[in-house]
Structures are given as C-alpha cells and as structure tokens.
Chain A
Amino acid sequence: MSIMIDREKCIGCGKCAEVCPGNLIKLDGKAFIRYPKDCWGCTSCVKECKVNAVKFFLGADIGGMGSLVYTRQKGDILTWVIERPDGSVKEIDINRKESNRY
C-alpha cells in the first residue's frame, strides 16, 4: 500500500506532507515519500494535492495490478480518477453532500 509522487508535476506546496497521519512524506523542494512501506493507504495526501502529483496504488502483495489513482475536486463533487496500466481511464463522481447508502 503506498503512493507515488510525480516529481515533474509536484509544485512543492507541502500540503501532502502536512496532512499525512504518519509523517511519511518529506520535502526537498518537492515532495517525496520517505517511508513507502509505512503508508496506511488513507489517501489523505491524494485528496490534498491540487496538481494530481500524488497517486495511490495497491501493492502487488495484496493483488495490485498497477493502476494509479488520484482525485479532482469541484464544489461538492469529488472525482476519483483511476488510470489503468493499459492507458484506459475510469472516473467516478462522489457527491460529498450525499451520505452513503451503505
């Protein structure tokens, strides 16, 4: 369970590092994950990143196939973007003003 940070896209704002509940992300001008194996997979950092530099993936040891996931937010809509290794992309919208049915 971990994240990947795209250093080309990262603008070094530090929001991901600030919000990580495990203090696992550090900055050297840009963000990097210092302790990838210690990530809980909470995706807090993914939701903070405004430039979609932080992407989340499943480790191969728990069945991950290499998809990368990030989010976009517009008003109450949080869009989850899943980029599959074959290049196909799936988007799922969640309305934050609606509670879960389950």
Chain B
Amino acid sequence: MRSQKMQFKKLRTDVLIIGGGTAGCYAAMTIAQNSPDTKVLICEKANIKRSGCLAAGVNALNAYITKGCTPQDYVDYARHDAAGIVRGDLLLTMSENLNSVTAHLEQLGLVILKDENGNYVTRGKRNLKINGAFGFNVNEEIFYSITAKAVIICTGGAAGLYKPNNPGFSRHKMWYPPFNTGAGYAMGIRAGAEMTTFEMRFIALRCKDTIAPTGTLAQGVGAKQINSLGGVYEDKYGLTTSQRVHGTVMENISGRGPCYLKTAGITAQQDDALIKAYLNMAPSQTIKWLESGKMPSEQNVEIEGTEPYIVGGHTASGYWVDTDRETTIHGLFAAGDVAGGCPQKYVTGALAEGRIAALSALKYIAAQSISEISDEKISENFSRAEKFLNNKNSRFSCEQLEEAMQTVMDRYAGGIGTNYRYNDRQLDIADERISQIQTLTDELCAEDMHELMLIYELRERLTVCKTLIAHLRARKETRWHSFAENLDYPQRDDENYLCCINSKLENGRIKIIKRRLIKEGERYEHNDRP
C-alpha cells in the first residue's frame, strides 16, 4: 500500500473495546479477571484516566439498590420515568448487577456515603459479523486496521448535535462531554446495525450558564423549582426529568420566567456543603457563587434546559441489543451510553453492562477464530482518511459546517431555539439540510491528525442526526414533553406507540421497524437479523 501522509499498521486482538470510559474500562477489567489469557485492546482518543463522561468527577452514584428495595423496583422506576418505553430484560439484568459493581468500586478505593448501619444511602430514585475496526492515531500519522474475534463498543452518546446553550467562547460548557460525538452510533448505523429509540432525546435541567447539576440542590437541600413570581411550579407539571424541563419551558413561555431553584434561606452549613459538593463535580458553579459574592443561601439559582443529546445511559437511545448485550451484528456487543433500551443506568449501570457484555464476548470468542479484513476494505477506509489530509482549499471549514449542522437541528429538529418542538415539515427541512451538509464535508481538509479527528467527529454527528430525524418523524405522538415534542401529534398514543421505534440503514435508506417491548424475565434473542 502506498502511503502518502499516514503509515499503516495492522493490530490483532481477541476482544477489541472501542471507547475507554466507564463501561469500556470495566469490560476490560472483567475480561482480565475472568480470562487472563484473552488479549484485550482498548481504543480511545484520550487518556483513559479521564476519558468519557466522568472527567470532572462525579458526586453521586445515582444507581444502586438500597435496603428494602429490589432490582424490580428499579426497573419499575425507570419504566415510569420513560413512560413505558424500556426493555425490561435489559433493565433487570443491569439492576441485578448494580450492587456488586458498587461493592467492587468500593473495594477499589471509591468512597461511598453510607448510613449509620453501613447501608448505601439513597440519593433519591432515579447476518453481519464483525471482524474488527479501523482507526487512526490522533497524534501521529498512523492508520490502523484492527482484527478481533469480538468487539465491545463503549463509545458513549452524542453531544454537539444541536446548538448549545452558550454558542460563543463557552460553547463546550455543556452537560455531556463534548468529546462524545456519537462515534459508536455512527459506526453501527453505517454497518447496518439496528438502533432503537433515538427519538427519546435527553435534555438536562441545569444551573444556568455553568450547566452544573440541579439534582444536588433539589435532592441535597430540597430546593423547589420556582418561577420569577416566587410560585412553586414543579407540582404542576410532574417530576420526571422531561416534565421538569417542560415545566420550565412553559413557565418561560407564559411570561413567568426566569425560573430558579429556591435556595435562598438555606443554612450556612448547607452553603458550605454545597460549595464543596460542586467543587467535586462542577467547579464552575462554586466559582460562580464566589465571584458573584452571593452564596446560594442569599440568592436563588437560575435554571435552564440544555440542548438535546442522544445518550443511552439516561434515556433508551442506542443499539438494539439482545439480553446478552449483543447487537444485531454478530460479535459486536454494546455497553454503557451507546447501548439502548435501558435508561437510567448512569455510572454503575454502565459498569454492570460492561461486565455483562464482557462475559458475553468471552463466551462468543470461544468458538471464533480471527477472520482477516479484506485488502479492498482496508484500502477503501485508508484512502478516505488520507483524502482529507490531501484536500486543499475547502470552501468551508469544519467549524463552519459544525455550526451549520447545529443551527439546522436547533431550528428544524426541536432545539432550544424552538423550545424543543417540531413538526413534520420542519423535520423534512432538517433532513434535507443535513444531507446537504454531509456532501459538503467531502471537501474538508485536515492539516494534522487532530483536525482529521474533528472531521470524522462531524461526519459521525451528521450520521446520527439523520437517524435521529427519522426517529422523531416515526413516533407520531408526544409521549415525553421536551424530549420528543411533536406539534403535529401533541397527545400520547398508547394504542399505536407503546412500542420501540427502531431503525436500520438498508441500501442507503433508513428503514423504520416497530418492535414490541421486551419484559423482564424474558430472554430476548435476535431472530431476524439483517
């Protein structure tokens, strides 16, 4: 192979893990413990010490089963929050693993809050086969072809699809890591894997500007959501995340904004505890308090909804997997935010799924040998990457096209700018514009490997946008306010939509498939694989 800019390297492994965040690292650890001879390779664009969602730290493990509760209780809670659209089999198998992974984390040195009896304290409920993957080094000019018996995909969800809260200098001060750009979703979509529930977007309710968590205030000091007239409005709209966001939007539209969490009047001790809690997880909020000269006890905290994300750790978006977490592509397993059907999994749920996927992958590789990737495929993928390094004089920059994508999604696919609402005509425009931007990316040029990564990230997000738009269009109802607020169909329709909306790419077109909901206790297997 004649290489112009990049060198070419072949790597071989038994299990390839793409993404070294929470789920990926735990999957690797599980394989090392259960089968020390199995070779594992983790591919990750950043250092695994801080990659993924938890770079800033996390101040609470949201999911474990507390005393007196059962894994089934957790399933019921998640099902209620998602208005029914969940996979019982996935939620139950995840929930059954929550406490053992939590105990394992504690053994590894994590400090977890317990009550006087030593119990964990509750924080409030909340026919294709894979041969490997291609990748490139983000620092050095090297292109890799990696063959593996099995692949576990743990790349997280997708941020940066929509125009963010603060599109200027602080554009990346967002809830979800801006570096999670939906790579894993895009890889699966292009490979023809079946995806589920992309229409159930996630929108976080956050402290304004700093996009710091509000749960710490709501659950920590019992702060209620109030409007600018002082009226508590959360009772009016409901307490699920989507209802809390919706209520805030409605109060603003009705002229009663801005909205706040009522912290004024809390004690000095509570101030102190909040200052520390936020330093551990979202230091910008603490700095904001210190810079304003007013502590939360003296000033209510303004809140706002974020731009929408696709993230399977909070909602049910992601790969359609069987109970063992195998995707519809043989040998490709999914865990964490990239895996669908199992919302509210959070950190411990990602660990639990990493374990389940790792054990399934180990079982699978026992009967597999490595199959080589064809030279033709290698050359096709190498040349595509190489082309961007050789392109000259692109009319647009990657950044301009990224902004174009975010503006289109904001205006026509229910972003902050339209109060998260959309109709079919708007979605048509969004779909057309995203396709146009996709063609414009062909001529982008990369000066170095970092810029090449940015081009790939943009193209991945555009692929995710196309699938997302198809899903928003397919669920002709409004089941979750804000998350999927379809103005053509403002009512919930259980008769037709108490089901999963799935999709897969077939001959360049996104095909929508309705699937029944799988219940806990069932073992779901793919029996009509692509």
Contacts and interface: CB of A to CB of B under 8 A. Distances in A.
Interface in A3-40: 18-23, 34, 36-40
A97 interface: yes
A67 B284 contact: no
B276 A100 contact: yes
Contact of B210 (A38, A57, A62): A62
A44 B55 CA distance: 6
Contacts of B273: 100-102
A58 B113 contact: no
B56 A100 contact: no
Say whether chain B's binding surface is mostly helix, strand, loop, or mixed. loop
B487 interface: no
B450 interface: yes
Contacts of B274: 102
A1 B173 contact: yes
A101 B113 contact: yes
A15 B220 CA distance: 35
Contact of A58 (B177, B221, B291): B291
Nearest to A61: B168
Given A19-B50, A59-B173, A82 B56 contact: no
Contacts of A87: none
B252 interface: no
Interface size class of B (residues with CB under 8 A): 35 or more
Given A43-B56, A58-B291, A37 B169 contact: yes
Interface in B244-297: 273-277, 279-281, 283-284, 286-288, 290-292
Given A99-B112, A102-B216, A92 B47 contact: no
Contact of B283 (A21, A56, A62, A100): A56
Contact of B287 (A2, A37, A67): A67
B331 interface: no
Contacts of A44: 49-50, 55-56
Contacts of A97: 111
B51 A21 contact: yes
B171 A37 contact: yes
B174 interface: yes
A74 interface: no
B215 to A, nearest CB: 9
Nearest to A96: B111
A39 to B, nearest CB: 6
A57 B173 CA distance: 12
Contact of A21 (B55, B166, B290, B453): B55
B169 A40 contact: no
A34 B280 CA distance: 26
Contacts of A62: 166, 170, 173, 209-210, 284
Nearest to B449: A23
A42 B56 contact: yes
Report which residue of A60, A69, A100 has the largest number of chain B beta carbons within 10 angstroms of its beta carbon.
Answer: A100
Nearest to A76: B111
Contacts of A92: 275-276, 279, 286
Given A62-B170, A92-B279, A69 B178 contact: no
Contacts of A22: 46, 172, 178-179
A70 B209 CA distance: 21
Interface in B17-73: 45-47, 49-52, 55-56, 59-60
Contacts of B142: none
Contacts of A60: 169
A57 B291 CA distance: 11
Contacts of B113: 99-101
A36 to B, nearest CB: 8
B179 A1 contact: no
A80 B283 CA distance: 9
A18 B275 CA distance: 29
Contact of A101 (B220, B281, B288, B450): B220
B437 interface: no
B291 A64 contact: yes
Contacts of A38: 172, 178
Contacts of B49: 19, 44
B49 to A, nearest CB: 6
Contacts of A64: 287, 291
Given A19-B50, A42-B56, A101-B277, A59 B168 contact: yes
B221 A41 contact: no
Contacts of B56: 40-44
Interface string B160-193: 0000001011111110011100000000000000
Interface string A67-102: 101000000000010101000001010101111111
Given A19-B49, A94-B276, A100-B60, A82 B170 contact: no
Contact of B46 (A2, A20, A65, A100): A20
Contacts of B280: 94, 100
22 contacts: A2-B170, A18-B47, A20-B46, A20-B47, A21-B51, A34-B450, A37-B171, A40-B172, A40-B174, A42-B55, A58-B284, A59-B170, A65-B292, A80-B286, A94-B280, A99-B113, A100-B273, A100-B281, A101-B273, A101-B277, A102-B216, A102-B277
Interface of B: 45-47, 49-52, 55-56, 59-60, 111-113, 138-139, 166, 168-174, 177-179, 209-210, 216, 219-221, 273-277, 279-281, 283-284, 286-288, 290-292, 450, 453
Given A58-B291, A69-B283, 16 more contacts: A2-B169, A19-B49, A19-B50, A21-B177, A21-B179, A22-B46, A43-B56, A58-B170, A58-B210, A62-B173, A80-B286, A99-B111, A99-B113, A100-B59, A100-B60, A102-B221
